[in-house]
Amino acid sequence: MNYSGPERRSGQRVPGRFIVSYRVLEEADNADISQTKNISMGGMLLTTNRAFEPGTSLALEIRLPFDPHPIMLIGKVIESRVITKDLIYDTRLMFLAVDENHRKVMNETITHYSKKG
């Protein structure tokens, strides 16, 4: 199913499979690991093992190729769409807070992968 509504993304989104550790912000020790499907300066799409309500805040750690350390940030769930019930969900996130150093690494990554496509 293709989305035919208005484009709401503010930044270029590039495909890329990067390792992400995620957990609900309020849950201290309930992290899971997944991969991104695509990423932009403003958000990302990742596969999760459960649905999240829109507005849920997730603590994220993303490993990007241009930094040996994971980038830590907060994302807000825009949508969780079922792919395989009780197993796989496509979850769209909007980033809430990204510090300047992490923003530079993300920009480097997005620029690099946009040239590959």
In the predicted model, is pLDDT for residue 116 greater than 90? no
Q: What is the pLDDT of residues 104-114, one digit of tens each?
A: 999 999 999 88
Question: In b/e form, how buried is each residue of 29-63, taking b as 16+ CB within 10 angstroms?
Answer: eeeeebebbbbbbbbbbbbbeebbeeebebbbbbe
Residue 77: pLDDT band with limits 50, 70, 90:
very high
Domain count, the chain: 1
In the predicted model, is pLDDT for residue 117 greater than 80? no
Residue 42 lies in a domain: yes
Closest alpha carbon to 63 in 38, 81, 85, 36? 36
Contacts of 88 (CB under 8 A, 6+ apart): 47, 48, 49, 82
Give the per-residue pLDDT at 9: 46
What is the distance between the alpha carbons of residues 82 and 89, in angstroms, rounded to a whole number? Answer: 5
Residue 56 lies in a domain: yes
| Tokens 């992290």, located at residue | 31
Q: What is the pLDDT of residues 55-76, one digit of tens each?
A: 999 999 999 988 899 999 999 9
**34 or 1: which leads in pLDDT:** 34
Residue 4 lies in a domain: no
pTM: 0.84
- Strand positions, DSSP E, 30-116: 32-39, 43-48, 57-62, 71-84, 88-97
CATH number, domain containing residue 52: 2.40.10.220
Residue 32 lies in a domain: yes
Residue 89: pLDDT band with limits 50, 70, 90:
very high
